[in-house]
């Protein structure tokens, strides 16, 4: 797998189908801003030749063998496990609800989810009739997952109120959680009327941690701008998704892209601390928000940003030599 920066804010994935000399053949052509990706940089993983540090491993799918890099010879007391990951769209270490119906008035607390192949805590990819409501998610730890730490996104089919659309749940209390190491997003949500406070979100979308899926977006796409965010709040129909959320007393540190991306309305961001954002990509910052259809019709409005602390923003370099 090769991960190629095609612009300062975009890292795309491609499967390497063939190698020969100094040339590699990709599964799908690259889309590069300005017509060339030269100078932006790339890296290769999911290959035996890429192992050069103790603890790194490679799985050969044809031989069904795992190769481990160990400079001191075969280590003792190795423990392994197999996780089947054919379907990852709704896969989570903890799955909130089912495709058939939402859940209400549930507390999820004091769990640890680690080394998971997809999302740490997630809603199903799709649900019927309505989204989850009145959940409390507190004092959990999500560590080293390949997708998203906390993913609150479901497509609602046959909605009992309003249109079918993406929703993230309503009247949620998300507090005291630690998300330490997630490769796509720390928190990704369409929630409404919800409060996120005293959470720690760190080591999100860092190049040194990325696996086969990179920052996400599949192996043929040409756009995944927001991947690597610490927190992303998305909007859809503003009556049902991405509005009236409050984020306070959270700590967001060491993220690949923005500390927060806000694309919903009536959001309060206060008394949070941001540090070391933009570690993997550039053209970003601690807090980013913008609308899309003009000031009279935009879905992004009434955003309050106050008394936050922002230190040591990095902003990954542009082209080599610039």
Residue whose entry in the numeric block shows the structure tokens 């409404």: 192
Q: Nearest 5°: phi and psi at 51?
A: -80, 120
If DSSP codes are grouped into helix, strand and coil, which group holds residue 48?
Answer: helix
State residue 90's pLDDT score.
59
pTM: 0.92
Which tens digit of pLDDT belongs to each residue from 14-40? Answer: 999 998 888 899 999 888 877 788 888
- Name the band, by pLDDT with cuts 50, 70 and 90, for residue 298: confident
Domain boundaries along the sequence of the chain? 2-68, 92-311
User: What per-residue confidence (pLDDT) applies to 87?
Assistant: 56
Beta-bridge partner residues of 196: 174, 247
Strands in 159-278 per DSSP E? 166-167, 173-175, 178-182, 185-189, 194-197, 200-204, 231-233, 245-248, 251-255, 260-262, 267-270, 273-275
pLDDT score of 85: 63
Kindly indicate the confidence band of residue 317, based on its pLDDT and cuts at 50, 70 and 90: low
Say if residue 239's pLDDT is above 90: no
- Calculate Rg over the CA atoms of the chain: 20
- Is the Cβ–Cβ distance between 96 and 134 less than 8 Å? no
Phi, psi of 34 (to 5 degrees): 75, 5
- The Cα 207–Cα 152 span in angstroms is 24
pLDDT at 316: 61
- Looking at the predicted structure, is the pLDDT value of residue 277 above 90? yes
Task: Please write the tens of the pLDDT for every residue from 36-65.
Answer: 888 888 999 999 888 888 888 888 888 888
Residues ≥6 apart with Cβ < 8 Å to 321: 39
| pLDDT at residue 80, rounded to an integer | 75
Compute the distance between CA of residue 163 and CA of residue 255 in angstroms, rounded to an integer.
34
């Amino acid at each position: 797998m090769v991960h190629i920066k095609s612009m300062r804010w975009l890292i795309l994935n491609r499967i390497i189908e063939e190698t020969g000399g100094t040339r590699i053949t990709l599964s799908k052509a690259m889309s590069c801003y300005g017509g060339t990706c030269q100078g932006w940089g790339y890296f290769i993983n999911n290959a035996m030749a890429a192992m050069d540090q103790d603890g790194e491993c490679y799985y050969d799918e044809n031989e069904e063998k795992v190769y481990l890099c160990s400079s001191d010879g075969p280590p003792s007391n190795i423990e392994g496990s197999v996780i089947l990951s054919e379907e990852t769209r709704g896969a989570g270490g903890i799955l909130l609800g089912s495709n058939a119906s939402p859940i209400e008035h549930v507390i999820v607390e004091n769990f640890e989810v680690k080394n998971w192949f997809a999302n740490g805590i997630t809603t199903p990819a799709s649900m019927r009739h309505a989204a989850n409501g009145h959940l409390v998610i507190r004092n959990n730890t999500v560590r080293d997952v390949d997708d998203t730490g906390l993913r609150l996104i479901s497509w609602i089919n046959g909605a009992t109120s309003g249109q079918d659309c993406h929703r993230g749940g309503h009247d949620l209390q998300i507090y005291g959680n630690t998300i330490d190491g997630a490769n796509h997003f720390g928190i990704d949500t369409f929630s409404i009327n919800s409060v996120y406070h005293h959470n720690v979100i760190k080591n999100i979308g860092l190049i040194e941690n990325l696996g086969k899926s990179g920052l996400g977006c599949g192996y043929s796409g040409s756009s995944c701008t927001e991947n690597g965010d610490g927190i992303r709040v998305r909007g859809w129909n503003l009556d049902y998704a991405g509005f009236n959320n409050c984020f306070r007393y959270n700590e967001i540190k060491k993220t690949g892209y923005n500390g927060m991306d806000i694309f919903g309305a009536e959001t309060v961001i206060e008394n949070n601390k941001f540090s070391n954002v933009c570690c993997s990509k550039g053209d970003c910052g601690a807090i980013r928000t913008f609308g899309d259809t003009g000031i009279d019709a935009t879905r992004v409005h009434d955003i309050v940003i106050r008394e936050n602390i922002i230190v040591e923003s990095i902003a990954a370099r542009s082209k080599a030599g610039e």
